Structure formats: structure tokens, C-alpha cells
């Protein structure tokens, strides 16, 4: 992966009290019972907003002290959606998660499809025509800029792609980097009543996480976000500079 970059003057490294043990491979990402200088959501939000001069919306999956997934979506990109400007499901977003089954910390960007046929009690997760998903599908061509970015991330930098039905997702790495038609097919064939999506992330196992100090991990996450920004921009109406 590319060399780590300084976080920003908005959150000086000397003030960061995040600890590597807050990434718990059994429970998830600890966010509860911490002060602002320890809480990863606060640290990353300030760092992202300082870097891109853009407001970000924090999304999450989980409750209580530990969350399983955290996302950061550009507020300007969401605001440009004529139908879905009040929700973040349709937005590309930076994300981090603990995969407690594979014992991996994952950090990168995600584009969600939601469901084409959602349950009646969750109509807000229905795929709408202004979601970034449609732009992603449109740019998955063999000679497209997206292929160039994905090839760089996966084959050179060690990133991983996960695509399609979230319960039975396809995984691609440098050993099986996909043809764009194959990748697009995996996305389009996800069942309409299943949650589906597309993720590009850098994986770290528990040994790698424990070998890093907390501030180093934050800088690594920001470096990952920097690496995936060109690819994520291709999926969005608003461009992060």
C-alpha cells in the first residue's frame, strides 16, 4: 500500500488517543464510553473534512459500545440526488468494518444497491434511480478509467474487491482480478430481494493491527481513503478534491 500520510492539522497526531485494542475482532469497533480523542468516528470525520474541505455524514451498523460497520458519505454528493437527498443508502462512502468471521479489519469504499424488492417495513432501502449504484454499473467497461483504478488498487496495492449478493458475495484479489464484464455480471445477478453492494478495501489481520500504534492505524486508514478516492469519485456526481 502507498506510504502513509499525515492526518491533518485539524486533529494533530499528538492528541489522538485511539488504541489498537478498540478494533476488537470478536465484538467489532469500539465507539462507546470513550472521549472524543479516542473515538474513531470523531477522529476520522474531522480528518476527512479537513482533507477534502467537505462535510461528511457518519453512518453505522451496530448499537451500543461496539459497532460492526462505519461509513462516511459526502453530504454534497447526497444533496445532489433529486429523490434520495435525505438518506445515505444511495451514496458511495468510505467505510471500515471488522469481519468477525474472517478475522479481518477492512477499510476502503463501498457502493450499496440495497434491495430492488425490499420488505414492506423497510421501504427506504429500495434501489432508487438516483443512487450511485447505477453510475457504478455504467462505468464498468473494459477500457474504462474504473478498470484502471481497480487494477492499480488490487494488483499493485493489495486491495480486495467484494461484489454482489451480500450473503454470498464474490471476492476478487490480485490472484483473480476480474474482467469488467465478469464483475458487472456479479453485481447485476444479485437477487432482487437480497442486499447487494460493491466494496474495495484494504485488509488487515489481527496480527497486523496489533503491531500498529493507534495513531499509526488512523494514518493508515486515511492513506487507504486517499488511495480509493479516484475510484469512488467515478461513482459520484460530486467530486472529492
Q: Please check the confidence at residue 73 and state whether its pLDDT lies above 50.
A: yes
Residue 173 grid cell: 484479489
- Residues sharing a CB contact under 8 Å with residue 26, sequence separation 6 or more, in sequence order: 100
Residue with cell 491533518: 8
pLDDT digits (tens, 9 = 90+) for 24-44: 999 999 999 999 999 999 999
Q: pTM for the complete prediction?
A: 0.94
Does position 2 have pLDDT exceeding 80, yes or no? no
CB-based contact 130:84 (threshold 8 Å): yes
Annotation: CATH topology of 13-233: BirA Bifunctional Protein; domain 2 (3.30.930)
Of 124, 144, 126, the residue nearest 135 (C-alpha)? 144
At residue 4, does pLDDT exceed 90? no
Cβ neighbours of residue 229 under 8 Å, at least 6 residues apart? 109, 240
pLDDT value at residue 12: 75
Per-residue pLDDT of 151-162, as tens digits, reads 999 999 999 999
Per domain, the residue ranges of the chain are 13-233
pLDDT tens-place string over residues 190-227: 999 999 999 999 999 999 999 999 999 999 999 999 99
Tell me what pLDDT residue 14 has: 78
pLDDT at residue 5 greater than cutoff 60: no
The band of 110, judged by pLDDT with boundaries at 50, 70 and 90, is very high
Amino acid at each position: 500500500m502507498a506510504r502513509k500520510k499525515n492526518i491533518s492539522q485539524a486533529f494533530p497526531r499528538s492528541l489522538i488517543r485511539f488504541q489498537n485494542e478498540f478494533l476488537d475482532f470478536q465484538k467489532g469497533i469500539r465507539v462507546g464510553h470513550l472521549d472524543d480523542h479516542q473515538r474513531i468516528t470523531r477522529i476520522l470525520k474531522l480528518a476527512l473534512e479537513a482533507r477534502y474541505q467537505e462535510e461528511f455524514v457518519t453512518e453505522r451498523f451496530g448499537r451500543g459500545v461496539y459497532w460492526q460497520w462505519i461509513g462516511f458519505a459526502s453530504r454534497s454528493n447526497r444533496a445532489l440526488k433529486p429523490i434520495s437527498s435525505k438518506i445515505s443508502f444511495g451514496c458511495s462512502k468510505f467505510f471500515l468494518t471488522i469481519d468477525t468471521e474472517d478475522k479481518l479489519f477492512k477499510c476502503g469504499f463501498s457502493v450499496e444497491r440495497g434491495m430492488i424488492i425490499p420488505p414492506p417495513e423497510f421501504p427506504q432501502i429500495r434501489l432508487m434511480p438516483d443512487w450511485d449504484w447505477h453510475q457504478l454499473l455504467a462505468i464498468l467497461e473494459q477500457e474504462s478509467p474504473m478498470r484502471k483504478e481497480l487494477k492499480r488498487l488490487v494488483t499493485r496495492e493489495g486491495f480486495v474487491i467484494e461484489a454482489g449478493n451480500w450473503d454470498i458475495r464474490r471476492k476478487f484479489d490480485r490472484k483473480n482480478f476480474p474482467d469488467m464484464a465478469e464483475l458487472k455480471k456479479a453485481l447485476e445477478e444479485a437477487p432482487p430481494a437480497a442486499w447487494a453492494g460493491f466494496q474495495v478495501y484494504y485488509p488487515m489481520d489481527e496480527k497486523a493491527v496489533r503491531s500498529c500504534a493507534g495513531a499509526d492505524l488512523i494514518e493508515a486508514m486515511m492513506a487507504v481513503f486517499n488511495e480509493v478516492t479516484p475510484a469512488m469519485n467515478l461513482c459520484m456526481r460530486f467530486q472529492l478534491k
